Each structure stands twice: as structure tokens, then as C-alpha cells.
Structure 1
């Protein structure tokens, strides 16, 4: 009688555990399938599974339903428990890797389980793993029906082998996905949770302001319509000051003056003159003019006597990058291979030129294709990197007028990289191209910023800058602690959270 009760109790335990697994897997699978698009998006944002999101989004719920079916049928229960232990091991190892080894922690997915923290989810999975192992051992030993499908190896050996193989499969997925994300990215963005947090904003009154620079915990704004006045604020947009540049332009016919603040110096530039003047921010007085400058369309000072610029002095008026040095005898050196022509050498090579003071390097980012170029202060290319979108060739159409002497865009171009900022080792790119597994709503509500590490030559993450009513995103600037954005006449400051800060701080102790 006691033996019968003991056997019945064991059968009851197995039945209860199998029922719990069936409820869990059916619920999880149905939740995923009912909100399939969201589930696929969440997998696409996983730092481990993003590359395989398309395949896994179908495979995981299908496998959960198959295992649930195996657990319902008594003859197939051994196989079902074995696969259930394997799947729960994979889920547990996945969460562990996310928590302790991934670059960021994504959002959870899966109905009620979404309300759990990642640590609670890990404990939940481990409990189910233990229950699965218990049921598998009992079912294997206590039921001797020869018609049952059995695992050929006894539980004492099969369970450890199962767990080891399941763990290795997730580790292989992690390294494989990471390699593909960095070297064969199929245009999948990674969105960590809240990398920036909005703090405050201020009304600039006019939409003609742009970022001139940052120094001594103050942000400087130039104004296209009032070029001799510079507005400065402290890092929290509190204290405002208006600085007047002391300068007598004499008979110089300026067309588009731009101010750049770099350290304790400021530069007044207009490539159509061409002219570059320099002064110190201590008194805002012009005290030096760069001599024998070529005409330029973009320029970035690299120190108090040198700059890297873009000009139209290439063959047939094509764009070319050059380096100017004013020390003793002014010299200009051009690098004809810096920009790579695809169509016309002018529109197809258009882009933005920025300078990283920390790296002492210039970066050129094309507007219409997925490439950026990193070079030294003499315009010698260090390497060519790619943004994560798939637009490798500029999608533009050029019309030639007056015997091919004049050209213009014949159709609206596909803009890829609109705004660019360099901060220490990081490159921030405002992208206009929607990636895989991305919700259409976020593109209607926000501007997407992609972040790259120039030292590691790698894509790091993406985040959203949410729109303010119908205001246009004009430019942005990033420091080691804050991100500033101008949307028409409004200046907003965001705090960088730890996940972004650590990408900067981790490189500070390394030699540049």
C-alpha cells in the first residue's frame, strides 16, 4: 500500500510540474504571437540575439508550443521534460549574460513576465529548471512503461550534458551575434534603456542659433543673423551672458560667418571670402588673421595655427580635403584621395567635418552614404568606417546645365546622416534611415541618434531624442556629461546616463 501511495505521489508531482510547464509555455507562446511585431522588435534590440531576431521570433514560440504538446502526451513526456530543461537553461543563461556581460540591458518581453525585473526573471527560470530536473528524474526512474520515449542516457549524466550544451549554445550565439553586429551589421539598432534624461530647456527667442563650442563648463551659441554676438550659458542653462566680438571687418564682404570656440580661443570664419580670424575668449577680441587661405566650404581648427578644410579645388570643381598651417610660412596640403567620388564628386561627397580634441583627429561623415572617415590633423586618412545603415552608394540624381558647367540636384536626395557631433572617443550621428525591427511610431515621435566608438571602430548603441511639438531639429552638441539640442528656438539639455558616460570614461585612462 505504501509503495502504491509513493508511486502515486511521484506521478502526481510529475503531473503538476508538467502542467506548470504547459501553462508557462502556452501562455508565453501565445503572448508572443498575439504581439508578434513587438516581440520581434524586442528581440531585434537584444545585445545577444539581435542578428537572429527574424529566425528566433518564430522559432521560440513554436518550440514552446511543441514542448507543451510533448508534456501533455504521457508517452512523449520524457522527451518533453528534457527539451523543457534545455529551453529554461538557455533562457537563464541568456538573462545572466544580459545582466553581467552585455553592454546594456534591454526591455523584458512576455506578458506578465515583462513586469518582473531581470534578476527576478532569472530566479523564476532557475526554479523552473530545478522543477524540470526533478520531474525528469522521477519520470525516468519510476515509470517503466517500455512504450515511453526515453532519453538514451540516464538522468545523472543527461541533465549535466543538457545544461552544458544549452549554455554553450547561448555563448556561441552571443559571440556570433556580436561579431556580425560589428562587421556584418544587417542594420539592426540597439536601444538601451534611457541613456539620456531630459533636464530642462530654455527659449532662445530665435531659430538662427547654432552650437559654437564648449569650454570651462559653458556652452557657446553663435547666431547666423548676428555673427558678432555669442550667447553663452552654464551647463544647466542657468546663467546667461552675451559676448560681443571686438572686430573691425573693414571692407571684407562676408556672406556666411561662423564662430567656433575651441578651448580658450575663438575663430571667426567665412570660406567665401576666404577668411579666418582668431582671438581669445578672455576678452573676445580678434588678434590674428590667417594669411593666404584658400577658399573653403567647411573648416575645423585643429590648433591655434592650423585647420583642416574642404574646398572645391579638385578636378572639375570637385570637393577636396586639405590641411592648412599658418606657422612661419603658411602652407596648404591637399589630399585628393580623402573623399571618394561615386557620381559627380560634389553632391555625392557632401558631408560634415568635425574635430575630436581628445583624439586629435578630424572626422568627415557623408550626408548621402553610410561612411565616415577618420584622419589626422594633416588630413592623412587613418581609417574609413561605416554607419550601420545599408546605403553604401549615394542615392542622388544630378542635372547638368550650360554645357555641364553648372549642376544641381534633379530630385530630392536620400539623406542618410543629417547631424554629426564628436565627443572625446564617441561619434554621435543623427540618422534619418529606419532600421530593422523598429516601430514606425518612434520615427514619428523622435529623432534617432546612433553612437560609434572611434577608438574601437565599432557601433555602440542608439537612442531617441523626442520631438517637441512641430519644432525642427536644427543641431546638437555633446559633452562628457550632457547632450544639448536646438529645436528651432528652444535649447534643451539632457543628462547622459551611466551607460553612455562609461563609454567615454572607459577610454580616458587609455593613451590616445
Structure 2
């Protein structure tokens, strides 16, 4: 049964008006608040790297298609364009729901209150309307054969081409953002939420480690003093480390806590003590540690940074419970200037591996106790060479000739993820966000890819001094506070 011409025309006009209303409103909303729309695209895990040109191409296409729909002679072309554009939007939402690293905020405007799944089905419904209108707009003798074969191929080809274009943009964006792009951040929202905060009695605490239910804080000015609290930042307790050895200096000692065991070490003397958090009695290790400038515990061994015979930084591993000689690999750190200042950085350990992150360049390395490099990765900024100037004093000592460009400041390692407190703003980072927060960039140390970024806002005007992460809990310390944040589920592996 064929529809009357007047009925077909009314259906086609209704579909055209629906698309015109949707697209004109959407385009005007985007252009009226262009910066917000641009930032939304920049935060998208699918189209991050294409935000700058898509921010004007999308509303321009919506306006153009609305104009084509307004005239009878160009109506068919407009409907075909609407079908293709809506297919692109639908593929975008499919990628967001199934393949994106995180699900961003829904876009604003007329669909602001609609969830992503509802939005997906909304788009499918509009695709069906466009297809229906094209069928009804086709010559009468073909409309009830669904359409002639050639016309059907054109429609299917257009849908596949536009969907494929969106898929291609996603693949390109993933490659650029994860591996090639050097300074474009991705901010999922929300990424973290503040759970609790408590004031600290002094400004010299740092997170020393965790047991199953408690956080332990060491003290820079009183190394034998430790406090702990629950993960909810309640039930504070204070301890003093008791020693079985007298007459040693502990003024620069560091404390590390792993489950029910604690370590006290100093690389200048050098020494390593360990004991149980149940009695805080420290017993000197049976090993024979050599001098080190940085150290992190790795089970029965300790990853260290020390000096080679030529006076340059090298990385190695020392045994804690035996007289076995330490092992070093002088090829791990890459010298760019003097081998000391240019290779300065942060040493982190966890799950039997360690990470070394350079302060003054966009590089980190991952290894284990074998000292074989599993990965050399890059942070997203563009500073591949350390911008340090070396000068010598009249006594022949080397020192910084001028303030270097600091790239990476603090860092934390949890599972397969490296969290880096970057010191350089990326695209769109200028303004209040950069001034009022510390930006944390997250990398997957299994493949070196950049995942996402999030801000940790200043408290009482003070930026973070240190932070550590266990599971999805972030514990931040500044001069006055300890604060717990939780990462949103799904951003990193694990509970």
C-alpha cells in the first residue's frame, strides 16, 4: 500500500523540521559558548587531538545541513548529510561507551540531561527518521522496494564512511595522545573526589607507607618520630622508633612502612634498620649497604641511586639481609650534561619493580631487580633535554649555573600506573586551574602510554608537598593538612 503524496510530504517535512530544530539549536549552543565546547572536545577520550578543528567544523556542518533541509531542491542532499552526520555521532557515543579510557561529561544544550546510553538510542531514532524520509522522498516506484539497489548502496556507504571516519579519528587521537602527543592533557570529569582532611601538628611530615588499614607519616625534622591514622584520617597514634644501636646520626634518615614492617635508612653513613610496627624496635640489617643518595625498598632488596667512580649518577640494587655485593648498571641513566644534575630525579618502587623519573626532562624508566630496563617512557611535555647550566666554583666544585627548568616534581607509583606532578602547563592549562591546583599526569608503565590528568587543588593557598597512592586512595600532604582523595572507578585497574 502506497502512501498518498500529501502524507509522504508531511512526514518528510516533519523529519526535516525536527532535524533543523535539533541542529540549529545545537550549533548555536556550541558557538555561543565556543570555549566550553572546545574544552569539552579536548577532554573527550575519543577526539582529544582533533578538538581545535572539530570545534568549528561540527557546528558549521549542522548549520549547512539545516539550510539544505530548508529548500525542496536540496532536501534530499540535506537528509543524506543528516543521516551520515548522525551516524558519526552514534559511532562516537559507541566508542565512548565501549572503548574510551573514561566516560566524559555529557555535552550541553538540548541533550544536557540525557545520559550516554539514552543519547545513543536518541541518535539511532533520528537515523531511522532520516532513512524513512529518504525512502519516502525517493521516486514512487521504488519506495516500497525499500529502495533500488544502487540507492541503498549509496545510503549504506554513506553511513559506513561517516562511521568509519569517526573510528579513524579515534584511532589517530589514541595514537597521538597516548604515544606521540607531547603536551595535550586529557581531563576526565570527575576524576577525584575529596573524602576527608585533617590538620597536621607540624609542616614536616611525609607519607612513609601503608599497612592494610593505616597510613604512616614520617617526619623530616624528627626522623625517629612516626604518626599513623586510619584510611579515613581518624584515630591518630604517635610512635617513637627504638634502636638497638647507639651513637649514630639519624638526622637525615628516611622511614618506609610496608604492611606490618618498617625500615629506617640513611645513605650517607650508610645503614638500614628494620622492625615491626607492633613494637617499633629497629634492628640493624645484616647486609652491608654502600653509600646511596636515593633508595626504595623492594622486598629483601633495595633499589638505590649512587655515584659511579667517575662521580656520575648510576642505579643499582643492594641486598638487605646478606653481605652480597651490590649490583649496578651504569647504562640505565642517560647523561646529557654532567651526569649529576641532568640525571637528577625521583626513585619509586612497588610490586617488585622500580621507576626512575627525571626532574628536568620528559623521561622515565622502568626496571626490576635484574637491572634490565623493561621500558623507557616519556611524559607528555616537550622537554626532551635537561635545560641545566653547570658552573664550577673556585674550589672546583660543580653547581647549577642558573635555575633549571623543572619538568617533573613529585611522583607516586601504584600498581601499573605512574602518577607525576608535572610542573609545565599544557594546552589550555593556563588560568585558574594551573594557578590553584597541582596537575597530576597518569602513565601506564606497561606500555608507556599517557592515560589522563587530574588536578589536586591547593588547600589554604598551599600546594602539595608529597603524595602517595594505595589502590584508588590518594593521600596528599601540604604544610598544614593531610587529605584523602579517591580516584573514580574505572580510571585505573584494580578496586
What is the distance in 2 between the residues matched to 1:272 and 1:439? 41
After the TM superposition, which parts of structure 1 deviate over 6 Å for at least 4 consecutive aligned residues? none
What is the distance in 1 between the residues matched to 2:101 and 2:78? 34
Q: Among 303, 312, 329, which residue is 2:307 paired with?
A: 312
Residue in 1 that maps onto 2:388: 396
| Structure 1, unaligned runs of 5 or more | 145-150, 506-512
Any idea what the Cα deviations from partners look like across 1:61-82, whole Å, max 9, x if unmatched? 2222222222223222211111
What is the distance in 2 between the residues matched to 1:34 and 1:153? 43
Any idea what the Cα deviations from partners look like across 1:440-463, whole Å, max 9, x if unmatched? 332223222122222343222222
Confirm or deny: 8 A CA contact 1:41 1:439 kept in the other structure.
no
Aligned pairs for 1:186-335 (under 5 A) are 186-247=182-243, 250-289=246-285, 292-304=288-300, 306-315=301-310, 317-335=311-329
What is the distance in 1 between the residues matched to 2:207 and 2:182? 33
Q: Among 477, 480, 484, which residue is 2:468 paired with?
A: 477
Confirm or deny: 8 A CA contact 1:365 1:371 kept in the other structure.
yes
Any idea what the Cα deviations from partners look like across 1:123-168, whole Å, max 9, x if unmatched? 3222222221222222232699xxxxxx997543332232222222
Aligned pairs for 1:67-466 (under 5 A) are 67-141=65-139, 155-247=151-243, 250-289=246-285, 292-304=288-300, 306-315=301-310, 317-356=311-350, 358=351, 360-402=352-394, 405-438=396-429, 440-466=431-457
Any idea what the Cα deviations from partners look like across 1:37-85, whole Å, max 9, x if unmatched? 2222211221111122222222212222222222223222211111111
Shift of 1:437: 4.0
What is the distance in 1 between the residues matched to 2:450 and 2:456? 18
Residue in 2 that maps onto 1:63: 61
**TM-score normalized by the length of structure 2:** 0.92
What is the distance in 2 between the residues matched to 1:84 and 1:134? 12
Aligned pairs for 1:13-24 (under 5 A) are 13-24=11-22
What is the distance in 2 between the residues matched to 1:84 and 1:215? 58
Confirm or deny: 8 A CA contact 1:308 1:379 kept in the other structure.
no
Shift of 1:484: 0.7
What is the CA RMSD across the aligned residues, in angstroms? 2.5
SS in 2 for 1:222: strand
SS in 2 for 1:230: strand
Any idea what the Cα deviations from partners look like across 1:290-325, whole Å, max 9, x if unmatched? 554332211112224x2121123352x222212222
> Does residue 492 of the first structure (1) align with residue 490 of the second (2)?
no
Confirm or deny: 8 A CA contact 1:255 1:272 kept in the other structure.
no
Confirm or deny: 8 A CA contact 2:438 2:463 kept in the other structure.
no
Aligned residues: 490
What is the distance in 2 between the residues matched to 1:116 and 1:399? 61
Alpha-carbon spacing, 1:379–1:290, altered in 2? closer, same or farther (3 Å): farther
Confirm or deny: 8 A CA contact 1:136 1:155 kept in the other structure.
no
Deviates more, 1:470-479 or 1:155-164: 155-164
Deviates more, 1:86-95 or 1:388-397: 388-397
Confirm or deny: 8 A CA contact 1:321 1:335 kept in the other structure.
yes
Alpha-carbon spacing, 1:440–1:112, altered in 2? closer, same or farther (3 Å): farther
What is the distance in 2 between the residues matched to 1:414 and 1:121? 45
Alpha-carbon spacing, 1:27–1:278, altered in 2? closer, same or farther (3 Å): same
SS in 1 for 2:44: coil
Confirm or deny: 8 A CA contact 1:426 1:504 kept in the other structure.
no
Any idea what the Cα deviations from partners look like across 1:221-252, whole Å, max 9, x if unmatched? 00112211110111111122112111266333
Any idea what the Cα deviations from partners look like across 1:470-498, whole Å, max 9, x if unmatched? 02311111111411111212011123331
What is the distance in 2 between the residues matched to 1:406 and 1:61? 62
Deviates more, 1:284-293 or 1:123-132: 284-293
| Structure 2, unaligned runs of 5 or more | none
Confirm or deny: 8 A CA contact 2:223 2:250 kept in the other structure.
no
